[in-house]
Amino acid sequence: MSGMTAAVAMLRPLLPPNARTAVLGVGAELRRDDYAGTYAAHLLSACADGKNFLTVEGGTAPENFVGVIRSFAPDVVIVIDAAGMNAEPGTYALLRPEEITGATFSTHMLPLPVTLSYVEASCGCTTAYVGIQPVSVEQGIGMDERVRAGAERLVREIAELMGRSEKLL
Where along the chain do its domains lie?
19-26+47-88+99-132+143-163
pLDDT beneath 70, residues of the chain = 1-4, 97-112, 169
Tell me the DSSP string of 74-86. -SEEEEEEE---S
pLDDT at 132: 94
Residues 62-110: tens digit of each pLDDT:
888 888 999 999 999 999 999 888 899 999 998 876 666 544 444 455 5
The pTM of this model reads 0.87
Q: Is 55 exposed, middle or buried (0-12, 13-18, 19+ CB in 10 A)?
A: buried
Closest by CA to 72, choosing from 125, 6, 31, 7, is 125
